[in-house]
Amino acid sequence: MPSTPPFSGPARCLRRRWWWSPSPEEETKTWRSYCGQPKPDPRLAKVREERMGWTAIAEAFLSLRDRGEGALVAYLMGGDPDPSRSLEYLCAAAEGGADLLEVGIPFSDPVADGPTIQAAGLRALAAGTTTETVLEVVRNLKRERPVPLLLMGYYNPILRFGEGAFCTAAAECGVDGLIVPDLPPEEAVPLKDAAERAGLGLVFLATPETEGRRIELIVRHTKGFLYLVSRYGTTGERDRLSREIPRLVGRVRERGGRVPIAVGFGISRPE
């Protein structure tokens, strides 16, 4: 496994309770009051017996479902604008109410991302952030805040790292799951196998045009939740969301049973 570079300065979570709202620099989704860590649920006994590390993701969704609440999944680019401040921002997100965190791995060719996340990735790369750096940020975060966490990134950096080595390193740092937007289930067998050996959940995406049988395929393979892309195009803030989203969720629900669904792309305000 490649060595992990040290931080340029001290980095610890700031133990402050505050309200957290989106900043222009980060493409976070929304905000609300912190509701604490989800309690264990007896329905997860089988998952625990299988030693699946994505138990934390399932616990979060089950706990929220029992309370009749939706999940807030907040995205921040790892290492932006530098590793120390990236850790502070992630801690702030956890303290501010995020039920799950997505931490981006910066990449030089982010084809699915809009200008905000592209700029965040470029700042992280300019600060010397690597995949190893992001893993170290996550390790430090998890020591302070045991919030369920997924790494989100393109397949190329994972492939360069080595699928098995990457999944092992991610699990050792406390990662619970992975989202790889440019990797469909049919091409994901090596990474899926490596993720399962490491106890990580591999989350797959569905789009507005994903048809019924393919939804069933994605539901069979996704672990933790299904990522529903709200619209075509790149990520980024939008003034309003499509009125088709409830219909899309309903269509996935018809084929996917009670698998948790997280809607992404363009979510930027509480309402």
Question: Tell me: the pLDDT tens digits for 260-269?
Answer: 999 876 565 5
Contacts of 1 (CB under 8 A, 6+ apart): 165, 168, 169
pLDDT band for position 23 (cuts 50, 70, 90): very low
pLDDT value of position 266: 58
* pLDDT tens per residue across span 137-161: 999 999 999 999 999 999 999 999 9
Q: Given a cut of 80, is residue 244 above it in pLDDT?
A: no
Least confident of 27-31, 144-148, 229-233: 27-31
Q: Which domains does the chain have, with CATH numbers?
A: 43-203 (3.20.20.70)
**Sign, Cα dihedral of 109, 110, 112, 114:** negative
pLDDT value of position 54: 67
pLDDT value of position 113: 84
| Residues linked to residue 178 through DSSP beta bridges, in sequence order | 151, 202
* pLDDT tens per residue across span 91-136: 999 999 999 999 999 999 888 788 999 999 999 999 999 999 999 9
How far is residue 204 CA from its own chain's centroid? 11
Q: Given a cut of 90, is residue 170 above it in pLDDT?
A: yes
Which is the catalytic residue, given 113, 136, 163, 176? 113
pLDDT value of position 8: 43
Which tokens belong to 119? 């700029």
The reply to whether 176 belongs to the active site is no
Which is the catalytic residue, given 26, 80, 99, 102? 102
Taking alpha carbons only, the member of 240, 238, 258 closest to residue 249 is 258
36-45, 162-171, 203-212, 247-256: range with highest mean pLDDT: 162-171
pLDDT band for position 21 (cuts 50, 70, 90): very low
Cα separations (Å) of 206 from 196, 226, 261?
Answer: 21, 7, 10
The reply to whether 237 belongs to the active site is no
Q: Given a cut of 80, is residue 235 above it in pLDDT?
A: no
Which tokens belong to 248? 């899309």
* pLDDT tens per residue across span 53-88: 567 898 899 999 999 999 999 999 999 999 999 999
